[in-house]
Structure 1
């Protein structure tokens, strides 16, 4: 009977090969200056174009509005998009929910 030495076993042989991320590629893609595909029209008439514009808009809101759950969710989504490369649609939806411009539509057919 042969013994398997734990230290000789290479667990990396079982793991799938992951692509190596190049740091310069991340610097190009991940930024607070990312633009939304479509600018968001806010009730105040402003149209923040980048994630940084949106962050500044939210931080300048009155405290009562800033502390609302919708705006807090938007503020949590912004760094995920800017720093971790999430889709800008997450931040867009958060801002639209916070500003009240996101309207839910019913998909039920009426007969």
Structure 2
């Protein structure tokens, strides 16, 4: 099975820190309103409204990962790779900011075989 969203080891480790600090009820959401659409944001469950237009791509570090419908249309042919960079900024609503880090979304195009598998499974 092809994952539509995956996380680097650095992301998994930071998720562990955030779970210890804030508890296990966290979610990720990526919308089109910030950072050239390259920032996945981590929130406490209930801090952001997940709507019917949001698409659940999967889970990373045991946490659900959603993306806005318009963003999904743009990114649906790519696998999102959630990474961590140093230098979180104070203006973020995402929970990792105070840790001096920021989540960053990288991507790669699905191969033809992966695209076919996703299509056959009704996931594209």
- Normalised to the residue count of structure 2, the TM-score between the two structures is 0.24
Structure number with the higher strand fraction is 2
- Normalised to the residue count of structure 1, the TM-score between the two structures is 0.26
Bigger-Rg structure (1/2): 1
Higher RCO (C-alpha under 8 Å, 6+ residues apart): 2
